[in-house]
Amino acid sequence: MFNLILFGPPGSGKGTQSENIVKTYQLEHISTGDLLRDEVSRHTPLGVEAKKYMDQGLLVPDEVVIGMISSKIDERPEARGFIFDGFPRTKAQAEALDKLLEFKNTQIHLVLSLEVPAEELMKRLINRGTTSGRSDDNEEVIGKRVKEYQTKTEPVATYYNHHGKLERVKGDNTIEDTFKILSKHIDKYLLPA
Ligand code: ADP
């Protein structure tokens, strides 16, 4: 099993690149953002709770997200591996993920961090807001999401760097060029399916 985290700020292109990686390497995609939006749209108790945070640009509490991830991993025992997108977003989530994977006799092998300058991120997110229909893609909420990222999520990169698992990748090239660089890193562990 090969497990990858795609890491990066809102708007860095994690969603787009995850799709490419999933197609090429046949990994199971776990996006906490997508899972949460699905809960919100089905008006589940978890979704109703999560929406309060998401609409304000705040992170949803760790225990909610960790529980969701755990059941997702359990649903796919035969997976070739997982790609985590938008998770872990706090050090507590990273530690919980390590424990979950250890219990399943596996681990995170690689963390690819997409690095994009702040001005470019803001441009992309505001632009996406005009078409995405996402209630958190407006200028005020985007600002809060970026702040949450800087204070709570950036330490996750340090955590994986200490474990020797972090690779930084320039994320403001074309989609194709960025994918090529990401692939080179993944190929060291797993060849395309
Ligand atoms: P982005 O484009 O900002 O990376 P996502 O689609 O990953 O957005 O997430 C949207 C929102 O869902 C976040 O702002 C946050 O409220 C919530 N969320 C997603 N993943 C997590 C997580 N791992 N921990 C806490 N909250 C999360």
Give a yes or no: residue 60 inside a domain. Answer: no
Report which protein residue has its CA nearest ligand 1's atom 6.
33
Return the bridge partners of 164, or none: none
User: Which helix (H) or strand (E) segment is 110 a member of?
Assistant: strand 110-115
Residue 174 lies in a domain: yes
Which residue's CA lies nearest to atom 5 of ligand 1? 33
Name the band, by pLDDT with cuts 50, 70 and 90, for residue 87.
very high
Residue-wise DSSP of 56-93: TTPPPPHHHHHHHHHHHHHH-TT-SEEEEES---SHHH
Does residue 40 lie within any of the structural domains? no
Tell me which residue range forms the domain holding 103.
2-27+79-187
Digit-coded pLDDT (tens) for 18-42: 999 999 999 999 999 999 999 999 9
Confidence band for 14, pLDDT divided at 50, 70 and 90: very high
Q: 107: CA distance to ligand 1 center in Å?
A: 23
Which residues are tagged catalytic?
Answer: 14, 89, 128, 134, 145
> Does residue 86 form part of some domain?
yes
The reply to whether 148 falls in a domain is yes
Q: Which amino acid is at 187?
A: D
pTM for the full predicted model: 0.94
Helix segments in 26-153, DSSP class H: 32-41, 45-54, 62-75, 91-103, 118-132, 139-148
Residue 57 in any domain: the answer is: no
Please count the structural domains in the chain. Answer: 1
pLDDT at 135: 86
Q: Does 22 contact ligand 1 (Cβ within 6 A)?
A: no
Compute, in angstroms, the gap from residue 157 CA to the centroid of ligand 1: 16
Residue-wise pLDDT for 122-163, tens only, equals 999 999 989 988 889 888 999 999 999 999 999 999 999 999
Atom 23 of ligand 1: nearest residue by CA position: 87
Asked whether residue 37 is assigned to any structural domain, the reply reads no
* CATH label of the domain that carries residue 110: 3.40.50.300
